Amino acid sequence: MHDTDQALFLAVHGIAARYAGQPVPVVMRALADHLPAAPGIAFDEIRRIAEEISVGRDPSGL
């Protein structure tokens, strides 16, 4: 796993632990504030991740 990928997975995992069950806009804001910059992450992907977290799932796989 590349350092950037690992940083993204760890950030998503941390946000999932803290924001599980929160509304999608709250989770999206947390993702926008805490995800490291990485090429190729589109708005739609962030929204999909936020939707998973908002229903209590951890899409990081960790």
| Amino acid code (one letter) for 52 | E
* C-beta contacts of 40-43 below 8 A and 24+ residues apart: 41/8
Specify the number of domains making up the chain.
1
Q: What is the pLDDT of residue 4?
A: 75
User: 7: pLDDT confidence band, cut at 50, 70 and 90?
Assistant: confident
Tokens of 2: 């590349």
Q: What is the mean pLDDT of residues 22-42?
A: 89
Boundaries of domain holding 15: 3-54
Tell me, yes or no, whether 62 lies in a domain: no
Task: Kindly list the distances between the CA atom of residue 52 and the CA atoms of 1, 2, 13, in Å, as whole numbers in the listed order.
Answer: 22, 23, 12
pTM of the model: 0.85
Q: Does 31 map to a domain?
A: yes
Q: Which residue has the tokens 């995800």?
A: 35
Q: What is the pLDDT of residue 31?
A: 93
The answer to the question of residue 20 being in a domain is yes
Residue 35 lies in a domain: yes
Domain membership of residue 40 (yes or no) is yes
What is the model's pLDDT at position 53?
A: 96
Tokens matching residue 42: 């589109």
pLDDT tens-place string over residues 37-54: 777 788 899 999 999 999
Q: Residue 59 falls within a domain, yes or no?
A: no
Q: How far apart are CA 14 and CA 22, in angstroms?
A: 14
Residue 61 lies in a domain: no
